[in-house]
Amino acid sequence: MANIKSSQKKNRQRIVHEARNRAQKSAMRTAIKALRAAITSKDAKKAQTLLVPAVRLVDRAGRRGVIKHHTASRTVGRLTVAVNAIAK
């Protein structure tokens, strides 16, 4: 444990931030996993309904620095292309 007050505070902040980032990343991964399962099963209607919340979570994670914003953009693009491919 740190002895300096500012270090103690920074450690408390780190714990809170890590927990928040972990929760956001987990929710994002869960949404992507459900969407990919719908894409794999060729269920276009379900995939289109799952795309919106997945994109929202990925974009939010990218904005908040949980993942890099270029990674978020690339993920959204690939998921959208995959959904559009089975929607035809």
- Domain range annotation of the chain: 5-87
Q: What's the rounded Cα separation, in Å, for the pair 80 and 84?
A: 6
Structure tokens at 1: 């444990």
Percent of the chain at pLDDT > 70 equals 100
Q: What's the rounded Cα separation, in Å, for the pair 4 and 8?
A: 6
The pLDDT of residue 16: 98
* Regions of the chain short of the pLDDT cut 70: none
For the whole model, what pTM was predicted? 0.89
User: Per residue in 50-60, pLDDT tens?
Assistant: 999 999 999 99
Q: Which fold has domain 5-87?
A: Methane Monooxygenase Hydroxylase; Chain G, domain 1 (1.20.58)
The pLDDT of residue 2: 86
The average confidence (pLDDT) of the chain is: 96
